[in-house]
Structure formats: structure tokens, C-alpha cells
């Protein structure tokens, strides 16, 4: 794979992750700036890291639109999923 292709793929994935994070912040407004920062950063990281995994699980091809979509989707749903996991962990720890 050529360097230009790698850079283009990373750029596309970054645009998707940032877009998904922005949509998530608009859809689920944060309580303060600190929470907004934590949510944005964690969503972008999730979109960059797990976007390709989501694309594979959804059966999407390696084309740019699928990469953009999967990174945005991953970033958008990451914060609510992390919230659910945190609640489950807290409940589990309180049972012990």
C-alpha cells in the first residue's frame, strides 16, 4: 500500500470520527465543558480505532464511504455504550 493511500484512509477515518463525535455532542448535550472534552476525545479515539472493526462486522467494503460511515457510527455510539458499561460495572462492584 502506498503512503498516499494510507494518509488518505487516515484522513477519511478522521473526518468520520470527528463528524460522529460532533453529532453525538449535539444529540446528547454534555453538562459542562470538561465533560464535552472527555466525550469528544473518547469518541474520536473510538472512531479511529474501532471504526474498521465495525465496518467488518457490518459487512461493509473497504471503500471510502464505508470507512467514513463506520468511523462516524462508532464515534457516535461510543459514549452511550461506555455509559452503559460503566453502570453495569458499578452495579457489579456494589454487589460484591
What's the rounded mean pLDDT across residues 53-67?
A: 89
- Residue 83: pLDDT band (50, 70, 90) is confident
- Count how many residues are written for the chain: 96
pLDDT of residue 95: 80
In order of 2, 6, 12, 22, 95, the CA distances from 68 in angstroms are: 20, 14, 6, 14, 41
Residue 44, pLDDT above cutoff 90: yes
- Residue 62: pLDDT band (50, 70, 90) is confident
Give me 91's grid cell: 452495579
Q: What are phi and psi of 44, to 5 degrees?
A: -65, -45
Q: How far apart are CA 45 and CA 85, in angstroms?
A: 17
Amino acid at each position: 500500500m502506498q503512503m498516499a493511500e494510507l494518509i488518505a484512509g487516515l484522513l477519511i477515518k478522521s473526518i468520520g470520527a470527528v463528524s460522529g463525535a460532533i453529532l453525538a455532542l449535539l444529540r446528547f448535550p454534555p453538562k459542562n465543558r470538561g465533560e464535552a472534552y472527555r466525550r469528544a476525545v473518547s469518541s474520536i479515539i473510538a472512531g479511529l480505532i474501532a471504526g474498521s472493526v465495525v465496518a467488518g462486522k457490518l459487512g461493509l467494503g473497504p471503500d471510502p464511504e464505508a470507512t467514513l460511515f463506520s468511523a462516524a457510527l462508532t464515534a457516535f455510539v461510543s459514549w452511550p455504550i461506555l455509559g452503559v458499561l460503566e453502570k453495569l460495572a458499578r452495579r457489579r462492584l456494589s454487589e460484591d
